[in-house]
Structure 1
């Protein structure tokens, strides 16, 4: 049974902003914003900890109240767009995607009501 997401987008952003840092690696910084074009989606900006100065932008869209689809939108290194096909970036992106899914799971109590 597909259940539609039934939560205010600002509430959703607030919940993600609180929870996401808890599932990320220590030192990573996350910023969660509403997706202006889609009420069922949020935008996530993650600044990776460490000397590489990588930052990742993801679009996280709710397929239903329990499941999200995560799309890597952009990767920057030191403020400049970089090739996202390299192995280290792919690994980091995969890791962050897993953390985003983990965060969505942990927020089911508010998204699945």
Structure 2
């Protein structure tokens, strides 16, 4: 089995195998989410430096958020919002309530990257 490795061009390179990083995120991100929120983290098959995070909100909101996460270096991540859905339908992410949720989840993703710095910093 071939293992993909994240490689960065900065002085602070990330050289953790993609699957190990995804597993670390699977353990760490749920600790930062609101009770009842769930997250799925999976590798990007086309880009070994990227993985995806799918978050489902708790309760009656029935909201789902898809993010692409890429390490810039061993500590800093770049987050791209890919999709927001409600009841299985893509929705406009511009309303204030949705923007607040996106902001909260982006913060949780950054907190997870910080919490894993011991793992990602060579």
- Cα RMSD over matched residues? 0.9
Q: TM-score, length-normalised on structure 2?
A: 0.89
Q: Indicate which of 55, 59, 71 corresponds to 1:50.
A: 59
1:79 matched to 2:88? The reply is yes
Structure 1: where are the runs of 5+ without partners? none
Large movers: runs of 4+ above 4 Å = none
Structure index of larger Rg:
2
Deviation at 1:35, TM superposition (A): 1.3
Q: 1:66 aligns with which of 68, 71, 75?
A: 75
What TM-score do you get using the length of structure 1 for normalisation?
A: 0.96
Deviation track 1:29-48 (CA, whole Å, cap 9, x = no partner) reads: 00000011221211000001
Q: Number of matched residues?
A: 113
> Structure 2: 5+ residue runs without aligned partners?
1-9
